[in-house]
Amino acid sequence: MFEDKTLICKECGAEFVFTAGEQEFYQSKGFVNEPQRCKTCRDARKNASRGEREMHTAVCAACGGEAKVPFQPRDDRPVYCSECFAKMKEEA
């Protein structure tokens, strides 16, 4: 039903493939227009509108190491570094 199409990015001018799977996804979501930007330009556009994320430093409640988190830590809630947080998630 769908076939891969080669499109030209209106942002950078590079060719990119609009795959049959992507076309099927677009149709299932009710999108009628083909993408006009390649994945790299779409991602850059999304990230530009978000702005820079402010990171805060905290002490990991499990190992005592430094943890960088995207929220203001509070004294009444434990904060974990990435490694300890992943270990806790695996155990749950």
- 18 and 41: one domain? yes
Residue 62 structural domain: 56-91
Q: At 53, is the pLDDT very low, low, confident or very high (cuts 50, 70, 90)?
A: confident
Assess whether 16 and 46 both reside in one domain: yes
On whether both 40 and 13 belong to a single domain, the answer is yes
d(CA 60, CA 37): 41
Higher pLDDT, 47 or 2: 2
Does 65 lie in the same domain as 46?
no
- Give per-residue pLDDT as tens, 24-52: 999 999 999 999 999 999 999 888 877 77
**CA geometry: angle 38, 40, 45, nearest 5 deg:** 95
> What is the tally of structural domains in the chain?
2
12 shares a domain with 44: yes
**What is the per-residue pLDDT for 47?**
82
**67 and 41 share one domain:** no
12 shares its domain with 35: yes
pLDDT digits (tens, 9 = 90+) for 61-90: 999 999 999 999 998 999 999 999 999 989
- Co-location of 13 and 42 in the same domain: yes
CB 56 within 8 A of CB 27: no
